[in-house]
Structure 1
């Protein structure tokens, strides 16, 4: 089995970041959920989050929650359930996020058949325009309907922000969510367990003391796994060294920097542009665009330039590097959020837990 390319995952960093976030959230009355989707819910990652003090793991895909099934934590499905997967949702998720009565009815029937009670959090759209009812009365009506369904327990109200529409969590929109939650509780004479206001993007207002009291859950993924929050800014008291990528050099040649008579589109349908820098020492590495968007990887060797690539090849300019690279040498890259996600998803990138 090929060892490289390989994404390295430092589990102690994940545990450190989780411990830091748990302590910070506790000061503000928030109990975080640990989102595993960035790391494709590898059980090693889930266990590192549990070790850090979080006991509710969340993911967008049922296939990922199945990987976490044996871990000692509650599981939450973040993406709205599909009708075709309600059997597995009830079996593998203790909680799911919902916005459709049809889906709630299907979950109710399945939960009854499995002799289980399935917990649901209703989603309300505060303007980011992803999932959730946009109008308050629709959410209030859905709450009444959910409560009446057998096998369903309404445990919370949530919203999504800063994912699709770029709407930041604010004191104002979090208070709006709290207002709707209060109406649900008053109208139905219940107490919601969760009012889940945002993802890691909500950490800024929480740290500033601007998160309204009553927002008691944040869904944290990027801050735990990469130490980043809104706009990918580093989160205080976290580390950003969880992931890096090692790739192997398979060719080193001195070549012109301009292709000969370039007239065709590249393999991805683009017209490539080149700058004539004369003869340059180039290296080809065994990874490509099938595995990761090469614009999302940053060489740790500051003297390396990423020239481009194809589906299976990464082409580097190593002419100015002080390192004497050889065939078989490794080049290490830092990764953006999407770069990590792509490498974790690719079956051709080996995963090494440190």
Structure 2
């Protein structure tokens, strides 16, 4: 057995997907399963689909290409705004994409015509989080331009909150999308098929019956994969958080001072560290570092173990009060945040093991 490794419980992820799909379905909302958090690892993708997900979304065209080449036949969307340099690949592999720049949509139109395809476009609207999206007052004009472009189909409107500005989803900011959609339908005589009202953070509105009626899609990744909702600071009710476990191996155990000896300068990442003198402690080193993972997102399953810090290749632990005997070769287990999962899944030095 090799380490470090993430063991992925497919059964629990499937149950999370089923629960969230059923929850949303009761409010007339479809779930787009977001696969970027695990680099679209195919066994996990298929587990999401087995759990009832009917559409998929990813931010990397390489992941979308791999999913399409695996034989998946459900619609897959690029959820990050396409780069102009990749529009041909986007049209070739993705059924649709989320967009905010008319110039890029025009390029998608040209490539779609050249390839004999119809590419679906969901226009992103910025309702306050200040990441991507057209400002609400500009949406009708931009939609008018899209409707004149051959080769693309205007499918609907979307928004994102929580990921950059930390803005919480609300009835008011989801209603902005619904009102814009109704205005577009009246103005242009078209049907707005999709109103994509947000991500995992928006599930709380669904649970409380506070999402604006008319929103008919949510893009869910973390809620299915980890059962967590960091924007609202909670676990998603009805889901499991035991879906993934990071296992890493101890390579050194020694009793050492808790405060470095000598003049303190900058560490390998340019920071000046600050240490508290807590006396001698039993310290362990795990073969894992900042090159592999967002260390701040790791949580030891043994609550008596404390993470002290990390360099690029070494994770330092205080195991003075560990509930079991920690020695060289011992395996320590961690839960992880979405950010930690994202970096671990991206690292080629960490094994991913569906179980």
TM-score by length of 1: 0.96
What secondary structure, in the 3-state scheme, does the structure 2 residue paired with 1:32 have? strand
Counterpart in 2 of 1:337? 338
Distance apart, 1:68 and its partner CA = 1.4
Deviations 1:220-248 (A, max 9, x none): 11111111234241111111111121110
What secondary structure, in the 3-state scheme, does the structure 2 residue paired with 1:264 have? coil
1:205 aligns with 2:205: yes
Contact 1:55 / 1:72 at 8 angstroms: preserved in 2? Answer: no
Contact 1:42 / 1:67 at 8 angstroms: preserved in 2? Answer: no
Structure 2 Cα separation of the partners of residues 135 and 29 of structure 1? 24
> Which moves more between the two structures, 76-85 or 202-211?
202-211
1:4 aligns with 2:6: no
Deviations 1:240-296 (A, max 9, x none): 111121110111122222322133222112222222333322211111111123222
In structure 1, the gaps of 5 or more residues are none
Structure 1 Cα separation of the partners of residues 142 and 185 of structure 2? 13
Deviations 1:270-329 (A, max 9, x none): 222222333322211111111123222111112212122211011112122231222211
Map residues 204-243 of structure 1 onto 2, 5 A cutoff.
Answer: 204-229=204-229, 230-243=231-244
Structure 1 Cα separation of the partners of residues 13 and 73 of structure 2? 17
Map residues 1-354 of structure 1 onto 2, 5 A cutoff.
Answer: 3-69=2-68, 70=70, 71-136=72-137, 138-229=138-229, 230-354=231-355
Distance apart, 1:342 and its partner CA = 1.2
Structure 2 Cα separation of the partners of residues 248 and 236 of structure 1? 33
**RMSD, aligned CA:** 1.4
> Which moves more between the two structures, 298-307 or 241-250?
298-307
What secondary structure, in the 3-state scheme, does the structure 1 residue paired with 2:139 have? helix
- Corresponding pairs, count: 352
Contact 2:61 / 2:93 at 8 angstroms: preserved in 1? Answer: yes
What secondary structure, in the 3-state scheme, does the structure 2 residue paired with 1:8 have? strand
TM-score by length of 2: 0.95
What secondary structure, in the 3-state scheme, does the structure 2 residue paired with 1:156 have? strand
Structure 1 Cα separation of the partners of residues 279 and 166 of structure 2? 43
Structure 2 Cα separation of the partners of residues 210 and 144 of structure 1? 30
Contact 2:302 / 2:323 at 8 angstroms: preserved in 1? Answer: no
Structure 1 Cα separation of the partners of residues 349 and 269 of structure 2? 19
Structure 2 Cα separation of the partners of residues 169 and 49 of structure 1? 24
Deviations 1:106-160 (A, max 9, x none): 0011001111100001111111111111142x21111111111111111111111
